[in-house]
Every structure is written in C-alpha cells, then in structure tokens.
A and B are shown apart, each in its own frame.
Chain A
Amino acid sequence: MIWFENDGRDKDVVVSTRVRLARNLEDYPFVSRLDEPSRREIIGRLAAVYDGKNGYRQIDFAALPEQERRSYSERHLVSREFAEDTCPRSLFVSENDGVYVMTPEEDHVRIQCVMSGLELDEAYRRAAAADDLLDAGTRIAYSEKYGYLTHCPTNLGTGMRASVMLFLPALTRAGQMRSLQNQLSKIGLTVRGMGGEGTAADGCLYQISNQITLGVSEEETLKKLADVTAQIVKSERELRGKVTDDEKLARRDRCRRALGTLLYAEVLSSRELLALYADVRLGAAVGDVDTKAWAIDRMLFTSLPATLVTMAEKKPVSALERDKCRAENVRLALAAE
C-alpha cells in the first residue's frame, strides 16, 4: 500500500516520513560520465539484487508515459529529477515496505522509504535493509575517510537525507515559519515549503530535512530530526489549542464550509483544493469534523494533476475537464473512508 493509504503516528501534524540513501557502485564513473552500456549494466546488476524473491518488482521507468512518471513524483514516491529524466532507468518497488529504489538517479542508486506519519527509525530500518541487499550483491563505493562516495559532495558520508512532511497551519498563521527556518538552519536542518511560498494556499505543508551528511552518524541525524519534530509538533498543537471561542467558531465554520465545497463542488482547481485541504485537515485534527487526517491526505495526493490524469479511465483533455475530474475524485475519496 502507498503511504497515504495508511494512518500514522502523530498524523494530526506529521503527514509523512521519508529516508533516502545515496549509493554508487565502485567500478563505474558517476552518472554524468556514465555511458549507456554501463548505465544498462548497472540496471541489470540491480535487477539481480532487487528481484521478486526479495519482494521487489521492477518498473522500466523510462518506458512509462510522462504523466505517469510525474505522478510518482507528485505522490513523493520518487524524486522529481528521476521522474523528469528520459535516459534508461528503472524503479524497483517493494510496496509492502514503501521502499522505492531509483537507478540511476543523480547517484547510481537512490534507496527511498516513505511512510505515513512520524516513523523515522522504522523508515531508516527499511531503507537500511534495502541497502544490505545492495551491499550483499555489489561493491558499494566507500572510503574510510569520506564514507559513502557520492556524485555531489553535499551527500558524502552517510548519503542519508531524512525528512518529515509537516502540516503546520497554526504556526503558519502565527507568522512563526520564518523564525523557525532561521533556528533550524543553525542546527543543520532545512525547512522547505511544499508550494514554495509558505502561505495557506500551499496547504501549510513543509518539509524538514537534514543538511549535513558527513561527520554525523545516521542515528544522530535521525535523533536530532526526531527531537526537533517532537518540539514542532508540540508547539503546533499548543497554538491550535490557544484560540478564543470566537476563533474556534470561525475555524469550525471554515472547516465545514471547506468540507461542503469538497463534497459538492463540480469543478476544483488544484490551488483551491490545497486551500480547502488545509482547512479540513485542521478541522479534522481538532475534532470539528469526523473525517480522518489520513483520508484527507489520500484525497489530496490522489487528486494532484498528473496522478489524476494517470488514474482517470477517460483522460481529461482541457483544464476544465481536469478540474471536473478532480472534483469527482475528491468526492469518491472522501466517501470511501
């Protein structure tokens, strides 16, 4: 099952957790200097590692239609770079574990585990298990000094990027995101708004990840990110609770109007959907409606443009048809909870 089909820990604030490991094979140049035969050779070697016996299936990613490739990146299953590249490449998927192995990406291999809610240790454990398989079947480029050797020196060391996607409407509304960003940059963590701006229209979704990969162990990085996330979760919850009765009424009103629109709209743009998503998700977290947080996430992540087109039986052509299709999908997703 894909991550957003599941409930998760601290789901009122934490949408998902992702752990990614960058790896390269010892005897090949990095991707920018890799010729096509070597590229295919690497894919072949990974196919022998991540086979059916180990619970993986191979997807010839370059052969997929563009919309389907983009859909993978919209749902945060692969990186945008991997979805956009058109060179030969494969994706190895273990759906049960939420592990996606991209080869080649910027590095020969990018192992990624995505899970619902806050699951840093478990996501790392699963990514590390995929790394063990790779390690048993190939020689991974590694130096005692620099750790795992990567195409870009920013990933040297553990090659690990761990991140959590957080839903922070109260902190956003309180204008705290900028200062949070400054504080976190001092301790080597980055905050990125999912839509870029950090306004309510972006769904109040932010991604926090580690910057440094060298000189800090995986466990230390995960612990730091977990501690910081726990603090942010606490402040977000406190702020959500610190509202006057009038504000509570206004919030409930916004949430229920948003849910009404989602349930009855005939056409929905993705921008409008994101804004409504934030209102309903916040209302669900504070008990204004019965809808579950994970069901609201599922509604959002199955209604993004490329995913919508990929899943639709009758492919929408115009923007209006797509918005109509989105409204239908939203209704179905909310009804299916």
Chain B
Amino acid sequence: MLCEKCGKNKATVFYRETVNGKTTSWSLCQDCAEVLEKKGDIKLDTDSFWSDPFADVFGGGLLQSFFGLPAARQIERGKKCTLCGATFDDLVREGKVGCPKCYEIFGDELEDSIRRIHGTSSHTGRVPSRLREGFDRKKKIAALEKDLKTAIREERFEDAAAMRDELKTLRDAGENA
C-alpha cells in the first residue's frame, strides 16, 4: 500500500485517531509521518501509532486493531464458517483466521485488512503441484493472446493462424482438465 500523503513511498506507519467520536485513519510512509508529526497534525504515541505493524502482530493483539479498523464493507452479522464454525467476531477477537475456508467465507470482510497489511490482495509466486499445470497453461494462454494481437496488427497472418491453433489446443486441454 502506498502512502496516502505522498503517494510515492510504501506506507509503513498506520495512524488512527478518534476525536469526539469521529475516527480518522492514515496510512503513511515514515517520512510523511515525521513531517505531519512536526507540523502537529498527528500525535505519535503508543496508543494510536505503530511504526511496525508486524512486531505487534507477533506479540498478539494488533490484528484486532487491523480487523477492527472501520471497514468500507458491510459486515454480515451472524455469518458462520462452514468448516470451523467461526464468526467474523471470533476472528476479530482472536486476531487470527479460523481455518482455510474462512478466507472464502469472510473474503469480503478480510479484504481490507489484508490490503492494509500487504499493500495488495493477490498472490504471485509458488503454486501447489495440483494447480501448477493449470497455472502454467493460463500464463501461456495470456502470453499467446498478447502475441496474437501483435501478429494481427503487424499483418503476420500465417503466424497468427498458428497461434490461434495453439491457443485452441491449450484452451481445450484446460476444459478437459
């Protein structure tokens, strides 16, 4: 996640302040946080400021603040995970997720917290073997589609025809997998 102030650096400081019942929160980079503190716009103390979100998570407790931060999405009360029986309130209270299925059941509710922690919410990298073939195929299809467009634009119709055939074979294999 990028700093909300400069929009350039990665946000590493998460600030939350409640005045007269109105909560303001900021995700800032170290530099902007220091500038704002000097200007007196924000007051950095242990209750409302943490420079390293992970240190506290390991010590327990902080995730509650993460989950508990005002979420843009509406939380559906009483919804339960079908595998472990946890409710979203349980996740907030425990500061941890109940089971793999919870990520699916509470996907919408968790999305903001996950973005806040990692700055993104989609995985890049290693894939379990059972899905590896499918992923490689998808990657190949995406690359071929791009090449195909280029070939058509450059009027290399023979190449384009070969690519179209290859794409069909790949897509058929995907449907039969």
Cβ contact within 8 Å between A154 and B54: yes
Is the CB of B136 closer than 8 A to any CB of chain A? no
Contact with B128, one of A135, A188, A214 (Cβ below 8 angstroms): A135
**Chain B interface, number of residues (Cβ within 8 angstroms):** 43
Is the CB of A6 closer than 8 A to any CB of chain B? no
The answer for the CA separation of A54 and B126 in the assembled complex, in Å, is 22
Contacts of B124 in A (CB 8 A): 147, 157, 215-217, 220
User: What sequence of 0s and 1s flags, for each residue 123-154 of chain B, a beta carbon within 8 Å of any chain A beta carbon?
Assistant: 11111111100000000000000000000000
The answer for the CA separation of A211 and B12 in the assembled complex, in Å, is 10
Is the CB of A53 closer than 8 A to any CB of chain B? no
The answer for the CA separation of A187 and B11 in the assembled complex, in Å, is 10
Cβ contact within 8 Å between A152 and B63: yes
Is the CB of B118 closer than 8 A to any CB of chain A? yes
The answer for the CA separation of A147 and B57 in the assembled complex, in Å, is 20
The answer for the CA separation of A147 and B10 in the assembled complex, in Å, is 22
Is the CB of B161 closer than 8 A to any CB of chain A? no
Contacts of A144 in B (CB 8 A): 123, 131
Q: Which residue of A lies closest to B57 (CB)?
A: A154
Q: Which residue of A lies closest to B114 (CB)?
A: A153
Is the CB of A314 closer than 8 A to any CB of chain B? no
User: What sequence of 0s and 1s flags, for each residue 63-104 of chain B, a beta carbon within 8 Å of any chain A beta carbon?
Assistant: 100000000000000000001101000000011111110011
Contacts of B63 in A (CB 8 A): 152-154
Contact with B96, one of A30, A147, A158, A212 (Cβ below 8 angstroms): A30
Cβ contact within 8 Å between B57 and A33: no
User: What sequence of 0s and 1s flags, for each residue 201-245 of chain A, a beta carbon within 8 Å of any chain B beta carbon?
Assistant: 000000000011111111110000000000000000000000000
Contacts of A253 in B (CB 8 A): none
Contact with A186, one of B12, B98, B99, B104 (Cβ below 8 angstroms): B12
**Apart from A142-B127, A220-B124, 6 more pairs, CB < 8 Å:** A140-B128, A158-B123, A158-B126, A186-B10, A215-B124, A216-B124
B residues contacting A by CB (< 8 A) are 9-10, 12, 29-30, 51-55, 57, 63, 83-84, 86, 94-100, 103-104, 107, 110, 113-114, 117-131
